[in-house]
Structure 1
């Protein structure tokens, strides 16, 4: 800096001599000092502004770090949600597999079991209170429901018509046994006459020893020869015709035969018929 200062002084002297201007060394020195002071002040200002720039850099770095932390936090949350969804999907898959392995009528059986359980609890409550459960139950049934149940009971056991002599004979047997009215006096007489053999054991021999009474024989003859024959002669009921039923017969005789075959083998041929209708039969 001293060399530069001397060089500037020499140069200024040369210029002044050339221009015939008097030289003032103090002026040259003061100007150099001012320039030097300006440079030092500028350097100090630059050094003073450097910490601010570092703070701004630090704040920028902190902002980037916060953004990264937020992104990682969201990523962890999404990861947890994905695991939770995977777990729920697995649970639903297990439940669906259980439902598929259950019988087709499981829902109806479950509802029936729940209903029976509730009915049992109600019966126990009525017994504990000393009330008749049937009467309490009827108090909760409306007239419309009662009529609907009665109609359902009537339709539950309709007369399917003639399907075979064996079934016709069985129905006739049940019909006749319902008409029997026991004679208690005759019962007591027969009990006294048989004695201990009235309740037979393996050593009892009472087969073929019973002799029917004259009144019983007359009653049987009257029923067979008059009532049944007369009723059978008058019996002529037209069966209900279903318009929606499939026509799979060529005459009346074939229709009766098909109905009889359907009663015995319908459950085995139902799937074959469905396949033929869909056109998927092999």
Structure 2
């Protein structure tokens, strides 16, 4: 590797000397090596010279490689097939060096920037990206005639499945969270999965009644097919099981030290929690006024 670098440097020096002689003879500048030096700063003229050298190499690339030297028109320096390939490798080395330097400078600027204005992988700050996303979602909702509460309808199937999987990994709810809509819907699904469906009886009843699916003008309202006794017993059993489950359900709740104490015993605490769940958002302002002494 060291011999190769020495050979390339010696070849570049010789070509510089030949270019200077030809410059003096013909009155024009042809310097094919200076644009590809390892200096840190390069001007626009250097870039143009690089492009000229690339055009020359691309012109001779399709020619058969030979060990003898090929002379370019206009007095350009001489290259063999191997020298041309080495020269092209040097061009790629310089391009990689420039790309690494640019990436390093960008990384330094990103680390030195404050956290609030630090740019993410998209090239914009997090706050700006959130604002752009909010405006984009607002336009989509307006175009589809939806409000912000129905923004979930814009999610794709893949995004919705990812959200469901994430929710499944969340810990079980506690306290007042056991009565939210998500938990109640989960309880409904568990009860619905236990329902036994008899498709044969369903189809038989549908064929026997011409107005099985009644419309608004039907005269059969107030009438219903007779339900078998075993189904009634199954429904009663399910209701009793739910009642027994509620009575037997008991677990020790997590105690929060920062929570305000407004009860005298465990039974009173349980009663207050139910009252708070129903009327807490309405009595919050009254409680705050009483504590500040500004109720009257």
TM-score, with structure 2 as normaliser: 0.37
Query: Which structure is higher in RCO with an 8 Å CA cutoff and minimum separation 6?
Result: 2
Query: More helix by proportion, 1 or 2?
Result: 1
User: Highest Rg: 1 or 2?
Assistant: 1
TM-score, with structure 1 as normaliser: 0.38
